[in-house]
A and B are shown apart, each in its own frame.
Chain A
């Protein structure tokens, strides 16, 4: 399931439309993940406040969206672009890769909430494929 030229064009065009709200997207997606999938809180036990929209959640949502932006910019070779992020997740953070799918789902929910008209079926399939590719790239260094 590779990204076609059409997928890449759609992802870049859609990201250009939504990138202005990247921090809001990241904050909302992370907030939802922590509430809807409470097991994910285990990775953030060092934060004071895990409630939706809290300061650490907002900050980290922004960080995650920075990674997504990097992936968009590296869309022709996401593995190469995310190499050091993959090493970070594999060797230091050791986030179970199953969580990439969970976060991806919540990003898609937030895109639907914030951009109901732009997030049409064609944008949905392209973004779903793209986020799956990002998850695979992040998982590469795990073993």
Chain B
């Protein structure tokens, strides 16, 4: 399906190795809910998401951010087979959670920005290119069972 060079595989692993899911997950999901407020529609049961401060301090948002980003671990560990790895997650999001698949692209873009903020200049254009290729594949896999 997707061809990864050895350089790309090691870049993706290296980036992921520097990411603390417990920190980055909550930051990324919180930012999605703030920058794209309509995404809050999926989190009616999470309590107070009325202000940026409320969102960033909300423990349910933080916990869910860790779950969502934690799932990326599977993609990093199964880079040659991301489509199959995400089959049931894609089905769940399509058929049970009813999440618009555009949200996967939105989360990927915000996650890239959060990682850029953490890494600073060491997140070079070349590393960004490889990381975004990986994100594109994950996003496509997450959308794959919608139709």
Which of A's residues lie within 8 Å of B, judged by CB? Answer: 28, 31-32, 34-36, 52, 105, 108-110, 112-114, 116, 119, 121-122, 124-125, 128
A124 contacts which of B35, B118, B120 (Cβ < 8 Å)?
B35
- Which residues of B have CB within 8 Å of A112? 113-114, 116-117
Of all chain A residues, the one with the shortest Cβ separation from B133 is A36
Which of B's residues lie within 8 Å of A, judged by CB? Answer: 30-31, 34-35, 52, 55-56, 109, 112-114, 116-121, 123-126, 128-129, 132
A31 to chain B, nearest CB (A): 5
When the two chains form their complex, are residues A113 and B123 in contact, meaning their CB atoms are under 8 A apart?
Answer: yes
A105-B109, A121-B34, A122-B52 are contacts. A32–B125 as well, Cβ < 8 Å? Answer: yes
Of all chain B residues, the one with the shortest Cβ separation from A53 is B125
B49 to chain A, nearest CB (A): 12
When the two chains form their complex, are residues A108 and B129 in contact, meaning their CB atoms are under 8 A apart?
Answer: no
B125 contacts which of A31, A122, A128 (Cβ < 8 Å)?
A31
When the two chains form their complex, are residues B56 and A121 in contact, meaning their CB atoms are under 8 A apart?
Answer: yes
| Shortest 10 CB-CB contacts between residues of A and residues of B | A112-B117, A35-B125, A116-B117, A112-B116, A121-B34, A36-B129, A125-B35, A32-B125, A112-B113, A109-B116
The docked-state distance in angstroms from the alpha carbon of A100 to that of B88 is 35
When the two chains form their complex, are residues A35 and B129 in contact, meaning their CB atoms are under 8 A apart?
Answer: yes
Of all chain A residues, the one with the shortest Cβ separation from B56 is A121
- Which residues of B have CB within 8 Å of A31? 125
The docked-state distance in angstroms from the alpha carbon of A122 to that of B56 is 11
A109-B112, A112-B113, A121-B52 are contacts. A35–B118 as well, Cβ < 8 Å? Answer: no
- Which residues of B have CB within 8 Å of A122? 34, 52
Could you name 29 residue pairs across A and B whose Cβ atoms are closer than 8 Å? A28-B125, A31-B125, A32-B125, A32-B128, A35-B128, A36-B128, A36-B132, A52-B125, A109-B112, A109-B113, A109-B128, A110-B116, A112-B113, A112-B116, A112-B117, A113-B121, A113-B123, A116-B118, A119-B117, A121-B30, A121-B31, A121-B34, A121-B35, A121-B52, A122-B34, A124-B31, A124-B34, A124-B35, A124-B113
